């Protein structure tokens, strides 16, 4: 009875959200592509690839770009142990899909995840025929998980986390979450707090391992990409000898205005300071450009540039509205502000700039990365500010002191390196895992 109620409620919620999906399809062409896969309908080409001879697929699902990178590292670790493994890598967003296509191997198949209705899930399972289902972070889909368990397919939740906002809901809805969580073969949690929150939601504590965050292992630098970007930035007079590049990474609305205001206030005192902004969603780039111009700066919009300008543009701010370059930008920056941390219920990946040895500053809202942040703060590898005023003070201190930048960056890099190892533990667990009894 409970699952009939769930399916009715989920169906009603989906119908209410349908206008938003239509709006996104109209606004973002990539969202429309392969829309049938969300209903378990696949093209003849995709069906042929899924039916090609070879080892059974491991189905791994990652909803967003950051989780796709985590999934890619899990795939690499598993393939390092068994080269015959093939992956069906599913995601839900068009941006995540584009990144997934770059990360997947030739034998893998990239798909959109079906909606969590029994009919659509059954269709997908009949086609993919997975040997394992691997979910990342907080992707808990009752019909998908229960049907896998009923078919004897081991289910794993990797890098599991429960945010501050989600924890009370999980606990209140344990009537639904509990049976689903107990269908899982193993849950690999980021922290003891995440484990306790999952237990409070009805998970079996005996099936939960606290492994730490896979993102400490999953973050990788690309030296060639960094070299090419460094040359571009130097030609734009944004970085290099005598320049201090302040980077706003994965910024959300309101944060770019805050950085522009801070930048305008500091430039008279620090003429060597430069600013680059990488918005979290590139479709918001027009609004960010308007804010840059409104603040009195010229906007260098990277997606519209064939190369650096013939000569440096005075008082310019670089808007990096391209996909897949954020890590390289961190590698070229001197100071990094990690976005979505000045707004409630936020937080983005602060491991990336820390690994690059960049002096890293974040705001007060980091609930999506609480275990990671706890580790970094313990090693004094990142500065956390309470709001706009303290953010300005922190940035000014770092611009003024090369020694402070170097020391903060060194501690951040060492903290990341010290916490690697969760990836190998998770890969071993997934390969050795067997199906548990389920409800």
Residues 231-251: tens digit of each pLDDT: 999 999 999 889 999 999 999
Shared domain for 155 and 276, answered yes or no, is no
Domain assignment present for residue 406? The answer is yes
Q: 269 and 124 share a domain?
A: no
pLDDT in tens, 325-339: 999 999 999 999 999
CA proximity to 276, closest of 252, 299, 307: 299
8 Å CB contact between 50 and 124: no
The residue-averaged pLDDT of 404-420 equals: 95
Q: What is the pLDDT of residue 438?
A: 39
pLDDT at 381 over 80: yes
**Are 400 and 354 within one domain?**
yes
The pLDDT assigned to 119 comes to: 93
Q: Tokens 């973002």 identify what position?
A: 28
| Cross-strand bridge partners of residue 245 | 274
Statement to judge: residues 183 and 235 lie in one domain: no
Cα(95)–Cα(274) distance, integer angstroms: 28
Say whether both 130 and 208 belong to one domain: yes
Closest CA to 92 of 68, 126, 121: 68
Give the chain as a 3 state SS string.
CHHHHHHHHHHHHHHHHHHHHHHHHHHCHHHHCCHHHHHCCCCHHHHHHHCCCCCCEEEEECCCHHHHHHHHHHHHHHHHHCCCCEEEEEECCHHHHHHHHHHCCCCCEEEECCCCCHHHHHHHHHHHCCCEEEEECCCCCHHHHHHHHHCCCCEEEEEECCCCCHHHHHHHCHHHHHHHHCCCCEEEECCHHHHHHHHHCCCCHHHEEECCCCHHHHCCCCHHHHHHHHHHHHHCCCCCCCCEEEEEEEECCCHHHHHHHHHHHHHCCCCCEEEEEEECCHHHHHHHHHHHHHCCCEEEEHHHCCCCCCCCCCCEEEECCCCCCHHHHHHHCCEEEECCCCCCCCCCCCHHHHHCCCEEEECCCCHHHHHHHHHHHHCCCCEECCCHHHHHHHHHHHHHCHHHHHHHHHHHHHHHHHCCCHHHHHHHHHHHCCCCCCC
The neighbouring-strand residues paired with 208 are: 187
User: In the chain, pLDDT over 70 holds for what percent of residues?
Assistant: 94
86-117 residue pLDDT tens: 999 999 888 889 889 999 999 999 999 999 99
Q: Is residue 277 part of a domain?
A: yes
Confidence class for position 437, pLDDT limits 50, 70, 90: very low
pLDDT in tens, 29-46: 555 668 889 999 999 999
CA angle 54, 59, 65 (to 5 degrees): 125
Q: What is the pLDDT of residue 436?
A: 43
- Cα Rg of the chain (Å, integer): 23
The whole-number pLDDT of residue 209 equals 95
Q: What pLDDT band is residue 341 in, cutting at 50, 70 and 90? A: very high
pTM greater than the 0.75 cutoff:
yes
Judged by phi (left if over 0) then psi (alpha if -120 to 50, else beta), residue 277 lies in beta
Please indicate, yes or no, if residue 437 is contained in any of the structural domains: no
The verdict on residue 330 lying in a domain is yes
Give the separation between CA 240 and CA 50, rounded to whole angstroms: 48
pLDDT band for position 435 (50/70/90)? very low
Q: Is 218 among the domain residues?
A: no
What average pLDDT does the chain have? 90
Query: Which tens digits make up the pLDDT trace of 129-165?
Result: 999 999 999 899 999 999 999 999 999 999 999 988 8
What's the domain count of the chain? Answer: 2
Same domain, residue pair 82 and 162: yes
CATH number reported for the structural domain that contains residue 266 in this entry = 3.40.50.2000
Q: Which two tokens stand for residue 83?
A: 């080269």
Contact, 302 vs 321, CB < 8 A?
yes
The confidence score (pLDDT) of residue 31 equals 56
Please indicate, yes or no, whether residues 45 and 190 belong to a single structural domain of this protein: yes
Alpha carbons 338 and 349: distance in angstroms, whole number: 7
**pLDDT of amino acid 301:** 96
Q: What's residue 280's pLDDT? A: 86
* Structural contact between residues 187 and 209, judged by C-beta atoms closer than 8 angstroms: yes
Q: Same domain for 231 and 155?
A: no
Take residue 252 and report the two structure tokens written for it. 């959300």
| 154 and 206 inside one domain | yes
Residue 187 in this model has a pLDDT that exceeds 90: yes
What is the span of the domain harbouring residue 179?
Answer: 2-213+421-432
Q: Is residue 438 part of a domain?
A: no
Average pLDDT over residues 312-320: 90
- pLDDT value of residue 26: 58
Q: Do residues 280 and 206 both lie within one domain?
A: no
Q: Residue 94 is part of a domain; what is its CATH number? A: 3.40.50.11720
pLDDT on residue 136: 94
- Contact present, 369 and 348 (Cβ < 8 Å): yes
151 and 15 belong to one structural domain: yes
- For residue 279, pLDDT over 70 is answered with yes
| 426 belongs to a structural domain | yes
């Amino acid at each position: 009875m409970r699952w009939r109620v769930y399916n009715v409620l989920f169906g009603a919620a989906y119908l209410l959200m349908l206008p938003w999906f239509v709006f996104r399809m109209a606004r973002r062409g990539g969202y429309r592509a392969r829309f049938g896969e969300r209903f378990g309908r696949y093209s003849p080409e995709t069906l042929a690839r899924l039916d090609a001879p070879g080892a059974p697929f491991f189905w791994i699902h990652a909803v967003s770009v950051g989780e796709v990178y985590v999934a890619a590292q899990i795939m690499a670790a598993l393939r390092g142990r068994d080269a015959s493994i093939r992956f069906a890598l599913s995601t839900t967003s068009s941006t995540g899909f584009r990144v997934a296509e770059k990360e997947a191997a030739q034998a893998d198949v990239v798909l959109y995840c079906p909606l969590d209705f029994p009919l659509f899930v059954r269709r997908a399972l009949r086609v993919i025929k997975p040997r394992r289902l691997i979910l990342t972070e907080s992707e808990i889909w009752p019909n998908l998980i229960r049907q896998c368990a009923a078919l004897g397919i081991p289910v794993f939740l990797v890098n599991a986390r429960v945010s501050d906002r989600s924890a009370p809901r999980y606990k209140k809805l344990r009537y639904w979450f509990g049976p689903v969580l107990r269908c899982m073969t193993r849950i690999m949690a980021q922290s003891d707090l995440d484990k306790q929150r999952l237990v409070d939601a009805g998970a079996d504590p005996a099936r939960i391992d606290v492994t730490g965050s896979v993102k400490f292992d999953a973050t990788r630098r690309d030296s060639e990409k960094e070299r090419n970007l460094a040359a571009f930035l130097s030609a734009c007079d944004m970085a290099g000898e005598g320049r201090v590049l302040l980077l706003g990474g994965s910024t959300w609305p309101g944060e770019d205005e805050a950085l522009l205001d801070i930048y305008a206030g500091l430039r008279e005192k620090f003429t060597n300071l430069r600013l680059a902004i990488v918005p979290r969603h590139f479709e918001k780039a027009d609004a960010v450009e308007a804010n840059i111009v409104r603040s009195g700066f010229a906007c260098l919009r990277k997606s519209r540039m064939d190369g650096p300008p013939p000569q440096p543009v005075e008082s310019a701010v670089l808007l990096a509205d391209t996909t897949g370059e954020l890590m390289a930008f961190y590698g070229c920056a001197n100071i990094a502000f990690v976005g979505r941390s000045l707004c409630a219920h936020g937080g983005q990946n602060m491991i990336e700039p820390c690994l690059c040895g960049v002096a890293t500053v974040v705001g007060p809202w980091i609930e999506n990365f609480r275990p990671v942040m706890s580790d970094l703060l313990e090693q004094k590898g990142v500065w956390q500010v309470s709001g706009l005023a303290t953010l300005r003070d922190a940035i000014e201190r770092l611009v003024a002191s090369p020694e402070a930048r170097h020391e903060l960056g060194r501690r951040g890099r060492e903290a990341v390196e010290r916490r690697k190892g969760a990836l190998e533990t998770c890969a071993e667990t997934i390969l050795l895992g067997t199906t548990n009894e389920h409800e």
